Amino acid sequence: MPPERAAAWEALPVDSEVRTTEEQAREGAMEGVLAVAGQVGFRAASVRAILDYSGGHRRQFYELFASKEDCFEQAYSAWLARVGSAVLEAAVAAPTWAASIQAGLVALFEFVAGRPEIARALFIEVQVAGGGALAEHERTIERIAAALDGVRERIDPDQAPPASTGLFVVGGIEASVCDALTAGDPSRVWDALPELMHLTVGSYLTTADAEAAFEEAKQLLARRGGEAE
Amino acid sequence: MTHLRLVEEPADGPFREAPLPQRLPHGRHGIPRSVVHDHQRLRLLAGMAKALAEHGYAGVTTTNVSKCAGISSGTYYKHFGNLWDCLLAAYVTTAERLCAEIEAACAERDPGTPPLRAGIDAALELCAAEPASALLLSTHPPMEAVAVSTARRQLIARLAAMLRAARDPEQPPSRPPGLDERMIDAALAFVGAQVTAGRAAHLPALSPELTAILRP
């Protein structure tokens, strides 16, 4: 991946508006809890470690959040909205359904490769944190599955894939992200792009469509590899 | 010491008859020490899945694993060095059992039932009967449990090989390498989501759908 694309995610938490000290502290702690959880695991992520990352004081942390769990839940929600916006923005700009899937995956993978510690928190440590964050995670999976299912309008009902297809495909995408993150090499997530395009498109459309999407993804990776060099 | 192994268990493998083995009698019972040791270990492995289902990765501890197994913490540490050792052993044992169930179902299937359908039926029935085991196998472990991630990848590779073997042999193998592993990963995630949503009992009814998705 070209390095400037990853850098775009480094800058993401800082918006251009003038913010109060309290807002900055809240934002910093929310990034901190995800970054630390992504580095050492949610169980081992202490408030001290979060503050070491973000700056600020323990008293201020507890004025803003009821607990580490509360901070994680709020951070999860805020970052999920950010990543979701980036993915959606990329997807809606694409000319076809298959192209929008690819564009959405590319935006997601740029985030995963650019901010792997935050991605680990959002995709893996959320299972450990549980609570409201995990519930939001599950709702999001269902929303994305429903969005994928939008293509059914253009499929002959006799050829329609099983009702569970959307959840199956989203599970496959999430699992591939988790695999790359747990393997300790987040950039490996890019290797999954052609196969995930084949899996997604092939689950809804024809084998020929899936093979075309697979080839298109391989060509995209080749172009990006060339740009990076 | 945890033995990492993903090979077939005998048909009467660990907790095939009962997910959580019954306690042995207290006091002087004349049962050989090795039998007691193996029995305690099986109870701890079953206790791990149960504790994980009850407390999640956030709250699971050696104490609540011991409690779920009905075994003292002192005895726990005679079997496992820490929480993750026990998790790994539970994962590998459950994975072996899942594979054995699928292989047995494929081997013993009615001639009119395709092997893919027989295998998926068997897998979903096991997951429905033992939601805690299904969650253990399907949930991505936290980063402290690196060895479990490795065991998970081994299970996926093995299930993908079984999937390839179970498909219609007359279909041309025009699939990109690695796609079947992605599909198994997706199937595990799908099963995990169903169990988390409290729909474990509904899993066997999804067998036709999952077969249709995995068949192409």
Contact A171 B187 (CB under 8 A): yes
Domain coordinates of chain B in residue numbers? 83-214
User: Do B134 and B19 touch, CB atoms closer than 8 A?
Assistant: no
Report the pLDDT value the prediction gives residue B144, as an integer from 0 to 100. 80
What lies within 8 Å, CB to CB, of A222 at 6+ separation is none
Torsion of the alpha carbons at B97, B100, B102 and B103, rounded to the nearest 10: 170
Averaged pLDDT for residues A189-204: 95
Å from B128 to nearest chain A CA?
Answer: 17
Spatial distance between the Cα atoms of B19 and B45, rounded to a whole number of angstroms: 10
Residue whose structure tokens are 């779920």: B68
Closest of A179, A196, A214 to residue B157, by C-alpha: A179
Distances (CA, A) of A162 to A99, A165, A226: 22, 6, 39
pLDDT tens-digit readout, A121-157: 999 999 889 889 999 998 999 999 999 998 998 888 8
Nearest chain B CA: its distance from A94 CA (Å): 25
Query: What is the DSSP annotation of A16-32?
Result: SS---HHHHHHHHHHHH
* Residue A40 host element (H or E): helix A21-40
The C-alpha atoms of residue A218 and residue B171 are separated, in whole angstroms, by 24
Low-confidence ranges of chain B (pLDDT < 70): 1-32, 168-173, 216
- Looking at the predicted complex, does its ipTM rise above 0.85? no
Q: Does B16 touch chain A (CB under 8 A)?
A: no
Per-residue pLDDT of B54-94, as tens digits, reads 888 878 999 999 999 999 999 999 999 999 999 999 999 99
- Output the CA–CA distances (angstroms, integers) from residue A68 to A65, A74, A119, A122, A184, in the order listed: 7, 10, 18, 15, 25
Which residues from chain B sit within 8 angstroms of residue A105, using beta carbons?
Answer: none
Q: Do the Cβ atoms of A164 and B146 come within 8 Å?
A: no
- Contact call for B190 and A127, based on CB within 8 A: no
Q: Provide the pLDDT for residue B15.
A: 36
pLDDT for the residue A89: 93
CA distances from B85 to A41, A101, B3, B161, B206 (A): 17, 40, 10, 27, 33
Given a cut of 70, whether residue A229 has pLDDT beyond it is no
Place of tokens 């995963």: A112
Reported as a single tens digit per residue, the pLDDT across A74-124 is: 999 999 999 999 999 999 999 999 999 999 999 999 999 999 999 999 999
Choose between A15 and B153: higher pLDDT: B153
Q: What is the DSSP string of B113-182?
A: S-HHHHHHHHHHHHHHH-HHHHHHHHSPPPTT-HHHHHHHHHHHHHHHHHHHHHS-TTS---PPTTHHHH
Looking at domain A3-228, its CATH superfamily turns out to be Tetracycline Repressor, domain 2 (1.10.357.10)
